[in-house]
Structure 1
Amino acid sequence: MPRRGENIYKRKDGRWEGRQLKTDGKYQYFYGKSYREVKERIKSYQENGKNITKKEIKALVTASSLFELWLDSEISKRVKPSTYESYYHCLKKYIIPFYISRDYNQITENSVLEFVKFMHDDDSISQSYKRKILTVYKTALREILNNTSDSPIILNHVKFPRTEQNEVQVFTMKEQCLIEKAVLSCPDKRTLGIVLCFYSGIRLGELCALKWSDFDFENGTLFISRTVSRTKNFSDKDNKTILLIGTPKSRTSSRKIPLPSFLIIILNEYYKIGGKDNCYFMTGSEIPIDPRAFQKLYKKILNKAGVTDRKFHAIRHTFATRALELNVDIKTISDILGHSSVSITMNIYAHSLMEQKKIAIDRFNNMHMASMEPGQFAVINPVKEVAFPSKTADS
């Protein structure tokens, strides 16, 4: 099995891949059918004197080039295009410019603390985006230092500040009703997707990727197996965007969701009119709707309903909040949302969970009050102090 920091890992195609830094500051890649085979090839390469020592790295590369190398050689291979774009922006706009004039030797505890302070003091960046930047920064540093540093303990001495968690935005029950009425009176039937999200909690990209074949009208369920996103095409010199259809966010995001009966009836009627299994639910064709285009449609519905503008993701938060209000257990909510762990669900909806706890305790209070006789104070009398006689010689 590969050891931490060894730069040998198993690829999705079943092969093993390893790498070794060369004297020009670039990596030499090795492939094999097994971990042992790759390790032997790297060892042979090192014995021929073609590898570079950690001390030599310091003289050959700048700090910013290490971040560039990490982005291009590591991240581009192991994450989805949309995630790569997110990492790309964090690194290119904030992290790499900070280190652009610094040598490798200047990746120190002080420089890390300096960057953290730089992030903390920048009021133009939202709290949620600061969290994302610092997460990318910490991940990049840990892997870069593991691969190249004589003292990877730099990070052990740095405490990254906890940025404040923004309170999730949700629609009130009244607002949700107004939105649903606006959808049902809208001639553009694509807006039915908004109601579907209110009662399933699916993400915007998952909604846009739905095909009619994903609906099981007999069992009243919906299967999520794809997502649509618009991302930059980094292979294009102008970095134009492209529409990508891929797998969901994580392994647990591929899931089967039960739908309420009223929605199944409406959807089934739409399907009978002209739905085809190989066509996308939102367009009726073999081409999915662009998430950005649907967001514009969503904003028109909010305007029509007279509801304050919120991000589309607020619908997902609203679904989870309604489920908590209906006493649905947190594990079930987490499964429906497709979170990779229950702890993620609990962290996001901590405020709503506290409200539910207060309601539960109020029920105990009501039970106690109901057990009291009319006119009796429902308060436990405090224990009076008892004066104990002092000990005497005769006692």
Structure 2
Amino acid sequence: MARKAAAGAGTIRKKTVTRNGKQYTYWEARFTAGRDPGTGKQVQRSITGKTQKEVSQRLKEATTAVDQGTYTAPTKMTVGAWLDIWAADYLGGVKPSTASSYKGYINNHLKPALGAVLLSDLRPHIIQKAINGLSLSPASVRIIYKTLHQAVKKAVSLGYISRDPADGVELPRMEQAEIHPLEDNQVAALLQQVSGTWLELPVKIALFTGLRQSEILGLTWDCIDFQNGTIQISKQLSRRLFRSSSNIFSSPKNGKTRTLTPAPFVLRLLKEHRKRQAERQLLAGPVWSNPHNLVFTNDTGGLIDQESISKKFHAVAQAIGLQDARFHDLRHTYAVNAIRAGDDIKTIQGNLGHASAGFTLDRYGHFTERMKQDSAARMEAFIKANFGP
């Protein structure tokens, strides 16, 4: 028999059914979710569960949502189905590489863990369990969570569910990866090793501007203003998998164009390089093809891709004993040397293209503290040498 409840609160009853000769008992709540706009009749909804307590709690949530005008009818769509729809139809505004990564996270991690769950049944504890079950680095777990969070937020905005169950999920603590800028003697050895090779200028540009590898390879001559002494970073070379015959570029990492004012030495290097490129074009004759006006090309005007420069840099680094050095470490070296030279964090942030000065400070701030300590030690040594202990 149904349990009587306050008006509008719905009713709960215990039900027993027989299927294939076996009895099953469960609890069911029924409530009025509103009126059909076409017929004007009341729309009845039901909630079922194994225990009275569970059904009572869900009934309370549903009727409160009805009273507040935020109720959303349950959908039979699964999390897996929604993730497929979101990946196919709602990633038009992100880079192809980002969309590809999202789809990988969905297929490899999210659908196996959550795909069969009904979207309307998705709860924070279900997501938490899935997140806890990922045997990956904290950084990877956070990226996978971000993918799910964005997909679920879109489901909320479209009215499939009333609230975001991904809110409040506890994520693993991030341990910031240690950075490895090159020491001055290592920089000197590197420059000597690459001297006279095609890698020399990309290495110098990275060391003296902090540009990312793909930003260097995506530089075009129209972005270098020799008269005003600036370089505009408005794009980067896409990785091979995401290039097409009509478009080899993507936007910079944070999606924003920035303008650098590098040291005059850098601009002189680029001027000299432009002359040498013109000479190579004459030598190549009709086989020369540089339709995108790239600064860095091979001997026939073709682009130099990330794999080629990474492979060459690795070989050079190995030759001078830098076993674990990466091309990206040149960017870190620039940042640390800029701090040593007295540049303020805001300027360094702008040159590096970081989203905020806070990120730059968090990434490199410990080097400023180390330099303060070194300065204090030098002053202490000076005092002892001149004025005694």
Question: Is the TM value for this pair above 0.5?
Answer: yes
> Could you tell me how far apart the structure 1 residues matched to 2:154 and 2:381 are?
57
Q: For 2:232, what is the secondary structure of its paired residue? A: strand
> Could you tell me how far apart the structure 2 residues matched to 1:215 and 1:255 are?
12
Tell me which residue corresponds to 1:281.
Answer: 295
1:148 CA drift (Å):
4.2
Is 2:261 the partner of 1:258?
yes
Q: 1:224 aligns with which of 206, 226, 233?
A: 233
Q: 2:100 aligns with which of 64, 76, 85?
A: 85
Tell me which residue corresponds to 2:249.
Answer: 245
Tell me which residue corresponds to 2:170.
Answer: 159
> Could you tell me how far apart the structure 1 residues matched to 2:161 and 2:78 are?
16
Q: Which amino acid aligns with 2:326?
A: K
CA separation of 1:353/1:369 partners in 2, compared to 1, >3 Å: closer, same or farther? Answer: closer
Deviations 1:160-200 (A, max 9, x none): 333222122322222222111111143xx244212111111
1:155 CA drift (Å):
3.6
Tell me which residue corresponds to 1:11.
Answer: none
Larger mean Cα displacement after TM superposition, 129-138 or 174-183? 129-138
Q: Which amino acid aligns with 2:317?
A: L
Q: Contact 2:214–2:238 (CA<8 Å) still a contact in 1?
A: yes
Between Structure 1 and Structure 2, how many residues are aligned?
A: 311
Q: 2:312 aligns with which of 283, 286, 297?
A: 297
Tell me which residue corresponds to 2:130.
Answer: 115
Larger mean Cα displacement after TM superposition, 265-274 or 61-70? 265-274
Q: Contact 1:231–1:241 (CA<8 Å) still a contact in 2?
A: no
CA separation of 1:350/1:226 partners in 2, compared to 1, >3 Å: closer, same or farther? Answer: same
Tell me which residue corresponds to 1:134.
Answer: 145
Q: Contact 1:324–1:356 (CA<8 Å) still a contact in 2?
A: no
Identity %: 23
Tell me which residue corresponds to 1:65.
Answer: 81
> Could you tell me how far apart the structure 1 residues matched to 2:184 and 2:138 are?
28
Tell me which residue corresponds to 1:212.
Answer: 221
Deviations 1:38-65 (A, max 9, x none): xxxxxxxx9789xxx94241x2x11111
Q: Contact 2:141–2:172 (CA<8 Å) still a contact in 1?
A: no
> Could you tell me how far apart the structure 2 residues matched to 1:82 and 1:323 are?
31
Q: Which amino acid aligns with 1:279?
A: N
Q: For 1:331, what is the secondary structure of its paired residue? A: helix
- Higher Cα Rg: structure 1 or 2? 2
1:335 CA drift (Å):
0.7
CA separation of 1:219/1:150 partners in 2, compared to 1, >3 Å: closer, same or farther? Answer: closer
> Could you tell me how far apart the structure 2 residues matched to 1:91 and 1:47 are?
37
CA separation of 1:94/1:312 partners in 2, compared to 1, >3 Å: closer, same or farther? Answer: farther
Unaligned segments of structure 1, at least 5 residues: 1-45, 235-239, 377-395
User: Relative contact order: is structure 1 or structure 2 higher (C-alpha 8 Å, sep ≥ 6)?
Assistant: 1
CA separation of 1:305/1:104 partners in 2, compared to 1, >3 Å: closer, same or farther? Answer: same
> Could you tell me how far apart the structure 2 residues matched to 1:150 and 1:266 are?
58
Q: Which amino acid aligns with 1:85?
A: S
Tell me which residue corresponds to 2:206.
Answer: 197
Q: Contact 1:231–1:242 (CA<8 Å) still a contact in 2?
A: no
